[in-house]
Amino acid sequence: MKAPYPAIRQWVVPDAAIVSTLAGVRHAGLSGKESGALWLGSRQEVAEVTTVALPVGDGHDEARSQWSVSAQAYGTLSRWAKPQGLSLLGVLHLHLPGIAPRMSQTDRNHGVRAPAVLSIIIGNGGADEEPERWGWFVFEEHDFRQFSPGELGRRVKRTRDRRIETVLFNRKEVLRR
Partner 1 sequence: MSGQPGIAVAGSLQNTPSHDVVEVNVSYLPATGPFHRAYPEATALSTVRADAMGFFGVVDRQQGRDTYTYFFEFEARRITNLSETLTALLGPDRRGAELHLVEQITQGWGVA
Binding site for partner 1 (CB under 8 A): 1-2, 4-6, 34, 36, 43-44, 63-72, 74-79, 81-82, 87-88, 91, 93, 95-96, 99, 104-107, 109-115, 117, 172
Nearest-approach distance from CB 74 to partner 1, in angstroms: 5
Nearest-approach distance from CB 160 to partner 1, in angstroms: 27
Closer of 9 and 64 to partner 1 (Cβ): 64
Closer of 129 and 143 to partner 1 (Cβ): 143
Nearest-approach distance from CB 93 to partner 1, in angstroms: 4
Nearest-approach distance from CB 111 to partner 1, in angstroms: 6
Closer of 23 and 96 to partner 1 (Cβ): 96
Nearest-approach distance from CB 158 to partner 1, in angstroms: 22
Closer of 44 and 148 to partner 1 (Cβ): 44
109: which strand partners? Answer: none
Closer of 162 and 172 to partner 1 (Cβ): 172
Nearest-approach distance from CB 163 to partner 1, in angstroms: 22
The angle formed by the CA atoms of residues 94, 66 and 164, to the nearest 5 degrees, is: 40
The DSSP call for residue 54 is E
Long-range contacts of 79-85 (CB under 8 A, 24+ apart): 80/167, 80/169, 80/174, 81/40, 81/51, 81/53, 85/42
**Is there a contact between 73 and 170 (Cβ–Cβ < 8 Å)?**
yes
CB burial class (10 A; 0-12, 13-18, 19+) of residue 173? middle
CA-to-CA distance for 103 and 169, rounded, in angstroms?
A: 25
Core vs surface per residue 16-25: b (16+ CB within 10 A) or e = bbbebbbebb
Closer of 133 and 162 to partner 1 (Cβ): 133
CA-to-CA distance for 33 and 133, rounded, in angstroms?
A: 20
